[in-house]
Amino acid sequence: MRRVKASERRIGLVYKDENAFVRVWAPMAGKVSLMIGRETVHDLEKDEFGYWTGEVAAQPGIKYRFMVDDKLLPDPASLSQPEGVHGPSQVFDTTAFTWADDNWVNPALDKYVFYELHTGVFTPEGTLSAIESKLDHLCELGITAVELMPVAQFPGERNWGYDGVFPFAVQDSYGGPEQLQQLVNKCHEKGLAVVLDVVYNHLGPEGNCLPSYGPYFTDRYKTPWGDAINFDDAWCDGVRDYFIENALMWFRDFHIDALRFDAVHAIKDLSAKHILREIREYTDELMKYTGRTHYLIVECVLNDTRFVEDTRRGGYGMDAQWNDEFHHALRVCAGNERNGYYSDISGIRDLAKAYTNAYVYDGIFSRYRRKTFGSDASGVPGNRFIVFSQNHDQVGNRMLGERTGMLVPFEMQKLLAGAVMVAPYLPLLFMGEEWGCTTPFQYFIHHGDKELINAVREGRRKEFEHFFSEENCPDPQAEETFMACKVPWEELQQPQHALLMRYYRMLLSVRMNTPALYVLNRDNVNVVVDERTQTLMLHRWHDMQHVICVMNFSDMPQLIQVPWQLPALSSMFDSASIEWGGPGESDLDGGSIVIRPHSIGIYNDQNV
């Protein structure tokens, strides 16, 4: 029996034709009523599965709450919280928006070039509608998919988004649900897919009303945030339905193209059918109903291929996952500190392994974890992995939130970008990376509980015990911490930033127009690495086209002998070129290359 109907929303207050169907899960409650405005109360009826239902007259914009026994609470499936997490819910008609994307076709995942952004700091206004003014910039850059960090309602007006407590509501300070619909519509008009980051492993600590409704959490497992979400304990069906409904809503009612599930390694579920696999099945059902394509992407640090394996082979059926170990190896090559989780990475040897194996730890002993870790990713297609030189976590996990451009020289910035773009995986950029943005991306919150604020401050300091020795950690609650993270678009008027922007644009163009690079065939990859000279040579090919990518992470020119029989090499792209602010192109003589320091050269076979 299907508990959820993929084609329509069936929880919360669902507006339709001047009426609202009401369905809220509270299996332990003795009485549940709906209060509209301040006076009108409607008692609801309970079914055997713990759902309370009814039908009432309601109009969009009306505010309401539920009375659960003696507690007056917002709707756990609220679509709008205009007065914040402690205020009433507001009726929103998801069907009222006039979509103009009937002809939109979600690109094949192979075509995705991700651009991760945070709504609050990406523009001066910090709203979803303001993002629309930057879409032409992204299109000209070569981006094909805009990835929004979480927009679910959180306390206050500023937050990374991972403290959301109303998974169905779009943050009011971002502009609310209609602005999200408008943004998605505009992105599709521009040819951009939209990826939304969602959090199904925990809820934030302030304003979380779910425990007052029922057993949404279980003490069977512990997570970094406390009790785990109840995906497999008693009464878990209602919890599973809640998150399945949430995923379907973003696809169906907001036309989101892909979801990125945050930290799925923190989802605790020993059910016969994992919650992610069940979301996969319902998403497939929705796609059959609508004819649209949607992707499911996970962040997972387990190096476990089950997440991206097909369900017919016992996997969870996710379409792709972030590959942090590629990032770690790349950053160690660039001179990153060898502490915390970076202590397990050797540098260029592990980067070479990441190019061919995806995972660095693929069933070998990890000193940092003190155990054998990971699984073999052989046979998993390249489009199942997303790689990057930076993202919100890897920048924000630093105490001061320094971006790559604040940590490495200009030539190394260009090399890191090139190393990502030539990988047989899907590339992701973090907002502002394309011009070497100099503002930090620090952790910020806007809680109302003083004890919680102090706990977050203290926790933030402890978080860096394995990374940094500095004592002056930015105050996450302070507005100035948030304002310091605003993306400075005016930097694009400065010569070196504008130059780097053109560099990224050309690099993406080379990738997009070179089959040996954009066809993500992991079988057609060879790597030669030299730890002594800190050089790496990547050989990729498709049909008769061969491409050689030579990378020099050292601060000295290095002589490279191409071992493959490709004597007629021609330079396609060279980060050391004067055109890109470098010292001059590397020297190419037949199969010999003198590669400049901190540079990447891309060469193809002229005989093809």
Render pLDDT for 254-281 as a digit per residue (tens, 0 to 9).
999 999 999 999 999 999 999 999 999 9
For 345, phi and psi rounded to 5 degrees?
A: -110, 130
- Per-residue pLDDT, 163: 95
Is residue 471 over pLDDT 80?
no
Q: Kindly report the CATH number assigned to the domain that includes residue 64.
A: 2.60.40.10
pLDDT of residue 85: 97
Report how far apart, in Å, the C-alpha atoms of 387 and of each of 2, 154, 194, 309 are. Answer: 36, 28, 18, 18
Q: Does some domain include residue 18?
A: yes
Q: Which of 541, 563, 539, 542 is nearest to 551 (CA)?
A: 539
443-461 average pLDDT score: 88
Average model confidence (pLDDT) across the chain: 94
Residue with tokens 């971006």: 403
Structural domain span for residue 60: 12-90
Tens-place pLDDT, residues 347-361 = 999 999 999 999 999
Give the separation between CA 342 and CA 419, rounded to whole angstroms: 18
Residues contacting 120, CB < 8 A, separation 6+: 126, 157, 158, 159, 173, 174, 482
Q: Quickly state the pLDDT bin for 341 (edges 50, 70, 90).
A: confident
DSSP 271: S
Of 561, 506, 549, which Cα lies nearest the Cα of 525?
549
pLDDT of 113 over the 60 cut:
yes
Alpha carbons 168 and 74: distance in angstroms, whole number:
12
Q: Is residue 270, in this structure, part of any structural domain at all?
A: no
Encode pLDDT of 477-488 as tens digits. Answer: 999 999 999 999
pLDDT digits (tens, 9 = 90+) for 549-580: 999 999 999 999 998 887 688 999 999 999 99
pLDDT of residue 298: 98
Q: Which two tokens stand for residue 333?
A: 């090559």
Across the range 92-109, mean pLDDT stands at 97
Give, for 287, the enclosing helix (H) or strand (E): helix 275-290
Q: How far apart are the first and last CA of the chain?
A: 57
Average of per-residue pLDDT across 248-253: 98
Assigned domain for 202 exists: no
Q: Write the CATH number for 564.
A: 2.60.40.1180
Asked if the structure places residue 551 within a domain, the reply is yes
SS3 498: helix
Asked if residue 480 belongs to a domain, the reply is no
Mean pLDDT computed over 52-58: 93
What integer is the mean pLDDT of 2-29?
Answer: 91
Structure confidence by residue, pLDDT tens digits, 147-194: 999 999 999 999 999 999 999 999 999 999 999 999 999 999 999 999
Task: State how beta strands 426-430 and 114-117 pair.
Answer: parallel
Domain end, chosen from 62, 90, 118, is at 90
The whole-number pLDDT of residue 338 equals: 82
Q: Which pLDDT belongs to residue 397?
A: 83
User: Is there a domain that residue 41 lies in?
Assistant: yes
Query: Residue 518 falls within a domain, yes or no?
Result: no
For the beta sheet containing 587-589, the strands, ordered from the edge strand earlier in sequence to the opposite edge, are 558-561, 592-595, 587-589
Q: Tell me: pLDDT of 61 over 70.
A: yes
Domain count for the chain: 2
Contact 122, 487 (CB under 8 A): yes
Which residues are within 8 A (CB) of 347 and not within 5 positions of it... i.e. 6 or more apart? 329, 332, 333, 531, 534
pLDDT tens track for 306-319? 999 999 999 999 99
Active site residues per annotation? 262, 299
Determine, yes or no, domain membership for 20.
yes
Which is more confidently placed, 9 or 470? 9
Q: Which of 90, 115, 132 is the last residue of a domain?
A: 90
CA distances from 80 to 38, 54, 127, 147 (A): 18, 20, 15, 22
Q: What per-residue confidence (pLDDT) applies to 577? A: 98
CB 458 within 8 A of CB 426: no
| Residue 127 vs residues 134, 192, 446, 479, 484: alpha-carbon distances, Å | 12, 18, 16, 17, 17
Q: What number is the average pLDDT over the span 357-378?
A: 95
Q: In the listed set 90, 116, 136, which residue is the last one of a domain according to the structure? A: 90
Question: Structure tokens of 201?
Answer: 């492993």
- Are the C-beta atoms of 27 and 36 separated by less than 8 Å? no
Query: Which pLDDT does position 466 carry in this prediction?
Result: 57
| Closest by Cα among 487, 477, 480 to 453 | 477
